[in-house]
Amino acid sequence: MKSKLFNFTRSIMAVAAVGTAMMAMPAFAQNTIKIGMITDKVGVAKAYAEPVAAGVTFAVKELNAKGGILGKQIELLVEDDQAKPDVSATVARKLVDAGAVFILSVSLTPATQQAQSVTKESKTPHMTPSNSGDTLTTQVDNPNFWQTGPLASTQIKTLLSYAKNKNYKRVALIGENSDLGQLTNKFFKSGLEAAGIQIVAEEIVPGGATTADPQMQKVRAANPEALFMTGITTGPNLLILKSYRQLGLKTPVLANYNMSVPVYMTAAKGLIDGITFVDAFDPAKPATRTFVEAYKKDTGQEPYNLIGYGYDGVMMVADAIKRAGSTDKEKVRAAMQATKGFKGVMGSTDAAYGFADGKRTGFDTNGMVVRVYEGDKQGKVVHVGAN
């Protein structure tokens, strides 16, 4: 009898314990702030998405170590869209259903574009801290979406500001046929034309090509005063640089921000000395130096610009939630749109993120810098801003 009574009592206690645990689960879930991240772990954007994602992860870790946001820890929900637009929309829905109060897209530009269909409908705040396509905030009327990467139009303005004393009249463009590469080429072309500069050659190296000699021979025949590189993908850019050297061209090369990615210091070794490129990362900036040291201490690795984009993105989201004083999506949306003068690790010393009324692109238009390769190393900043 005592044994039966003991077993019955134990069963009641077990049921009570389960009930208590089930009651505690919602409370635990409410004790975190969920931020979603859509990245690319296997697709064509992997080489760029992974370092941006690393910056996001480090920022979340740093914030949580300091108490999180509004007294709650950040829970980072990560989804892989494989750089596929349809998959990006699917995982965006998954993140919304999981309770994400904000979503960061660090994948391919077309994938980020498609994910907006979900965040617009669900009114979920959504931002890309790294994509540079000028059309991301214009093709979809989504008041819940922002972009803080350096626009292609800002890149060409900065390069032209740097080169204004050169007084170029005749230049060439060379790029590749990825979606973002074509978009960058489009805005470089319109920027040059707006400046009254004649484009005497415009060449594209297709994906899968094994040489850029035919395109570079046409560039050489046109005899431009400068050559602007608009390509985003590494493979075609390496072919362009190799052909440039092998054909003995001496035309000054001015490249978009893709040339700032450190992979070129090894993959293009011996090919990049003297190449001018636009960047959004100034290692001499005090805030950047602090970030670099903290990241090195935590990971043992040297951070670079792509990692900085992800870091700044999370810090801006945290700032908006703090100012909103809530995780209510509408309040967070309004707080993000009201962002002004936010100093991050990216951009020149005086650069600040902010969204003008009715605008959702937030990188400082005078925040980019110009650097020049010295041998196989990225040199110091030689020019700041687009003015």
Q: pLDDT tens digits for 241-262?
A: 999 999 999 999 999 999 999 9
Residue 7: is its pLDDT beyond 60?
no
- When pLDDT is averaged across residues 51-68 and rounded to a whole number, the result is 98
pLDDT tens readout for residues 155-194: 999 999 999 999 999 999 999 999 889 999 999 999 999 9
The per-residue DSSP string of 239-294 comes to HHHHHHHHTT--S-EEE-GGGGSTTHHHHTTTT-TT-EEEESB-TTSHHHHHHHHH
- When pLDDT is averaged across residues 121-145 and rounded to a whole number, the result is 94
- When pLDDT is averaged across residues 199-228 and rounded to a whole number, the result is 97
Question: What are the Cα distances from residue 5, in Å, to 9, 13, 249, 324, 330?
Answer: 6, 12, 93, 55, 55
pLDDT tens readout for residues 349-375: 999 999 998 899 999 999 999 999 999
- Tell me which of 3-12, 20-29, 192-201 is least confident: 20-29
Task: State how far the Cα of 329 lies from the Cα of 220, in Å rounded to an integer.
Answer: 54
Could you tell me what percent of the chain has a pLDDT over 70? 92
Q: Are 162 and 256 in contact (CB under 8 A)?
A: no
16 band by pLDDT with thresholds 50, 70 and 90: very low
Paired tokens of 307:
């990692």
- When pLDDT is averaged across residues 107-116 and rounded to a whole number, the result is 95
Task: State how far the Cα of 258 lies from the Cα of 232, in Å rounded to an integer.
Answer: 6
Report the amino acid identity of residue 260: S
- When pLDDT is averaged across residues 18-35 and rounded to a whole number, the result is 57
Could you tell me what percent of the chain has a pLDDT over 90? 87
What mean pLDDT is reported for the chain?
Answer: 92
- When pLDDT is averaged across residues 124-149 and rounded to a whole number, the result is 94
- When pLDDT is averaged across residues 6-33 and rounded to a whole number, the result is 48
Residue 96: is its pLDDT beyond 50?
yes
Residue 90: is its pLDDT beyond 80?
yes
The predicted structure's pLDDT at residue 358: 85
The predicted structure's pLDDT at residue 30: 64
Q: Are 53 and 40 in contact (CB under 8 A)?
A: no
Residue 137: is its pLDDT beyond 70?
yes
Can you point out the beta strands (E) in the chain? 32-39, 73-80, 102-105, 126-128, 145-147, 170-176, 198-205, 226-229, 253-255, 276-279, 369-374, 377-384
Q: What is the reported pTM?
A: 0.88
CA-based end-to-end distance of the chain:
91
